[in-house]
A and B are shown apart, each in its own frame.
Chain A
Amino acid sequence: EDQVTQSPEALRLQEGESSSLNCSYTVSGLRGLFWYRQDPGKGPEFLFTLYSAGEEKEKERLKATLTKKESFLHITAPKPEDSATYLCAVQAGRGAQKLVFGQGTRLTINP
């Protein structure tokens, strides 16, 4: 069974304090790994898709990387508006369309 584990569950940082969120996965035939951001009371907002080990993508203060077993979401010099829950999901298996999500990391950036 495909599994996705995110750590830590919650993370508090000071504004400007860089850190990384982890997403470990166990799947058969990874087709894509996705990062989403979710604000309270809203739906997940797409951030990145990574398809193969070694791939990296960047957007503003966020950078996502992928290895054969895990993905990292690096946050550089975060601002309070980066506070949200960050979700990792995998799409695996031939022809599969569904996403398997991790529990998320709740990130709080204090000013």
Chain B
Amino acid sequence: NAGVMQNPRHLVRRRGQEARLRCSPMKGHSHVYWYRQLPEEGLKFMVYLQKENIIDESGMPKERFSAEFPKEGPSILRIQQVVRGDSAAYFCASSPGTGRGGYTFGSGTRLTVV
């Protein structure tokens, strides 16, 4: 049973380009969460999605960032016109549903903006 799969593992983008980060949840999990870990900082919640719905985006920056979890395919975190401050590790987690329990995290995508 594969865990949470994120790709790419490493992504280098020039300032102004777009970054697309993908996350396939664990089999049977319908809830996806994105977190960002800036250098020397803790994990910060960004967005919580279910299939075709954004449930909580209270941690998403107001501009340039968007997320989706389509009916078919992986969840996508999209960052438009990247800036150096977007350089971070982006982690995806999944869970089977609401209620008690922890999440399973992926290995992350390390985004470097040059």
Contact = CB atoms under 8 A, between A and B. Distances in A.
Given A42-B107, A43-B107, A98-B56, A32 B44 contact: no
Contacts, number: 60
B45 A49 contact: no
Interface stretch (B12-20, B79-87, B95-103): B95-103
B104 interface: yes
B42 A101 contact: yes
A51 B101 CA distance: 10
B106 A98 contact: no
Given A32-B101, A99-B33, A99-B45, 11 more contacts: A43-B4, A45-B105, A46-B103, A49-B102, A95-B98, A97-B33, A97-B48, A97-B98, A98-B59, A102-B42, A103-B42
Interface of B: 4, 31, 33, 35, 41-45, 48, 55-56, 58-59, 91, 95, 98, 100-108
